[in-house]
Structure 1
Amino acid sequence: MQDSAATRDETPAPPPAPAAPGAKTSRAGRDLPAALAVGLGLGVGCILLLVFAPKVFLGVIAAAMAVATWEVTKRLIEADVLVPRIPMLLGGQAIMWLAWPWGPEGVVGAFGVTTVVIMVWRLLGHGAGTAPRNFLRDTAVGIFVLAWIPLFAAFGILTLLADDGNLRILVFMICVVCSDVGGYTAGVLFGKHPMVPAISPKKSWEGFAGSLLFCVVGAVLTTILILDGDPAVGIVLGVALVLAATLGDLIESQVKRDLQIKDMGTLLPGHGGIMDRLDSLLPAAVVSWLVFTTLL
């Protein structure tokens, strides 16, 4: 998990784990029926919470981010990157929950305090009389994960806390589903030109075009029908979400390539871990909050 970029780029991704006997696999090597069942169940559950108990959804987000942080820190520690797990878990919860009473100020304040705690924890938590090994690397990675998971998720919570926040999150989720469906369909049917084969060999420009088309159409329709907004806002939202989601997926792919793993966890059949389901959602949550806040 060290050194030169050339070493990282040339390290082949680990082979996909074999699927269960009789299971149909996608081109990505996933158990497709299991992935569809899990995705559908999660989607229906989230929609029901948003409609009938939107504040409970805040707790669901916080719990999911705790699991995702645990998954990522576990993988990092296995690779001898000694990130301070305890302050990251506790501080991550503070970042998200303080958005409720204090909004962006609470989020930024909690992130700043947790960053300081991570530095001090790694500096002093190695034992008296010896200097910490790889202090700069471990604290930098810890702060990166803190921003990548709970800080990005806090923007979703800020969106949820708006007057029509549950509807905004619903639009966000529908757009993400449209992007996924469009990208998968176009990639399977027409995918021939890889976007960045060194990072994600399965991702194609044709799939990206499908994501863009489906997401923009979905964003325009939901912005008009659910938020009673201008269709131009939907166009901006759709384009921004696809760009953010694609980059988020590539970022996690590169992290996993550095760690030489296929998935962050095993909690969700057909998907991997919680973080493997959230990789594109987290940066998209930041972008959607920005679009909703400035343009609606």
Structure 2
Amino acid sequence: MRDELEHRLDQARDQFEATNERIKNRTGRDLFAAIGVGVIAGGGVLASLLFVKWVFAILAVGIAALGVFEFARALQARGRRIDIIPQLIGTVIIITAAFWFPSAVHWTSLFMTLALVIVWRVLIQMSARDGRIYASIFSDIIVGCFIPLYVPFLASSALVLARQDDGELWVLAFLLVVVAADTAAYASGLAFGRHKLAPRISPGKTWEGFAGAVVVSAVAGALTGEFMLGIPWWAGVLFAFVIVGSATMGDLGESMIKRDLGLKDMSSWLPGHGGVLDRLDSILPSAVFALALFHLLSPLGAA
């Protein structure tokens, strides 16, 4: 009996590895490693949101800082002069201001960060004496200012939302919809994908995958709206439609950036996922829309 059990376990392991390898060859991702990382990260975010919101804010600072770091390093590898120190300082300032300070301070923190990035680059360039032309210097400054706008400022919208009354539930709801949409797009695209959604930007995405994401996210939105947010089911569906649209645009936007940089992933820090920014691409713009939808739809819960 022991030999038979060991034989069955060996067969199951071989089938598991073969299935994983087929999926990896088709999608370029280690599915089971991705699931493991996703479960661990999701558990940490869920626990912090529901029990200690300030821990979520600290996690957000760390995650955004990692995203900024890998984005800056990817740009540096392509010849851009990006100063990492002011980028990380600005990330901490923006995320911290979004959660612990009034909105006026939040906006001021963004302008402070942009000023810091510009002044730092000018001073470094003045001392470099490398003959770099003005057009290149100006281009470096523009790209350097894009990083805090793209990563920490968009991410800070989730912190502004989290500090509202029951805001943690809205953050959790939009994250659930994004995860449901990403998972459904991956699964339905893998099973039924035939027609490319944006072949010049992201050849792996299909209209069939997008359709699956819309259907599953609509169900997730209706359920979270009715049972978590206290709004009508149709408002939850509307919430999901907007979030799946912003998540798709964010995914395609980051794919366009990576294609311009000649990269498949921003880094290889997260097994099965790529880099931190590869996981934030759908979340960053969705945080802004989730904050707007909170102000638009939350009064329906009190009606």
Which of 184, 187, 203 is equivalent to 2:189? 187
* Contact 1:84–1:118, Cα closer than 8 Å, also in 2: yes
Corresponding residue number in structure 1 for 2:63? 64
Q: Give 1:266 deviation, angstroms.
A: 1.5
Partner of 2:223: 221
- Equivalences for 1:176-255 in 2 at 5 Å? 176-255=178-257
Quote the Cα distance in structure 2 between the aligned partners of 1:129 and 1:280: 38
Q: How does 1:277-288 map to 2 (within 5 A)?
A: 277-288=279-290
2:157 to 155, 158, 180: 155
Q: Please give the TM-score of this superposition, normalised by the length of structure 1.
A: 0.89
Contact 1:244–1:287 (Cα < 8 Å) also in 2: yes
| Contact 2:221–2:239 (CA under 8 A) maintained in structure 1 | yes
Partner Cα distance (1:287, 1:82) in 2: 32
Query: Which one has a larger percent helix, Structure 1 or Structure 2?
Result: 2
Alpha-carbon distance between aligned partners in 1 of 2:275 and 2:51, rounded to the nearest angstrom: 27
- Matches of residues 1-296 of structure 1 in structure 2 within 5 Å? 24=21, 25-26=23-24, 27-128=26-127, 130=129, 133=133, 134-296=136-298
Distance 2:157 2:78 in 1: 30
User: Which has the higher mean CA deviation after the structures are superposed, 64-73 or 254-263?
Assistant: 254-263
Instruction: Give CA-to-partner distance per residue, 1:1-25, whole Å, 9 cap, x none.
Output: xxxxxxxxxxxxxxxxxxxx97533
1:201 match: secondary structure: strand
Give a deviation string over 1:32-82, Cα, whole Å, max 9, x none. Answer: 111111112211222122222222111101100001100000111111111
2:98–2:160 CA contact under 8 A, matched in 1: yes
| 1:103–1:158 Cα contact (<8 Å) kept | no
Deviates more, 1:253-262 or 1:127-136: 127-136
Bigger drift between 225-234 and 23-32 goes to 23-32
Residues 197 and 171 (structure 1 numbering): CA distance in 2 closer, same or farther, change over 3 Å? same
| Residue-by-residue CA offset, 1:88-140 (whole Å, 9 max, x unaligned) | 11011111101123333222111111112212221221234846541221111
Partner secondary structure for residue 196 of structure 2: coil
The runs of 4+ residues in structure 1 deviating greater than 3 Å are: 127-133
State percent identity of aligned pairs: 35
Task: Give the structure, 1 or 2, with the largest relative contact order (CA under 8 Å, sep 6 or more).
Answer: 1
Task: Tell me the distance in 2 between the aligned counterparts of 1:236 and 1:148.
Answer: 25
Compare 138-147 and 63-72 and name the one that shifted more. 138-147
Change (3 A) 1:101 1:42: closer
Distance in 1, matches of 2:27 and 2:168, equals 32
State the one-letter code of the partner of 2:140.
D
Q: Per the alignment, do residues 230 and 72 of structure 1 end up closer, same or farther by CA in structure 2, a change over 3 Å counting?
A: same
Secondary structure at the residue paired with 1:127? helix
RMSD, aligned α-carbons: 1.7
Contact 1:50 1:166 in 2 (8 A): yes
Moved more, 101-110 or 35-44: 101-110
Q: Deviations over 1:167-217 (max 9, x none)?
A: 111111211121112211221121111011001001011111111111111
Q: Secondary structure at the match of 1:271?
A: coil
Q: TM-score normalized by structure 2? A: 0.87
- The one-letter code matched in structure 2 to 1:97 is T
Alpha-carbon separation, structure 1, partners of 2:274 and 2:159:
24
Is contact 1:107-1:151 (8 Å) kept? no
In structure 2, give the amino acid aligned to 1:71. E
For residues 233 and 143 of structure 2, what CA distance do their matches in structure 1 show? 40
Q: Distance in 2 between matches of 1:120 and 1:55?
A: 32
Q: Give distance in 1, aligned partners of 2:98 and 2:62.
A: 15
Structure 1, unaligned runs of 5 or more: 1-20
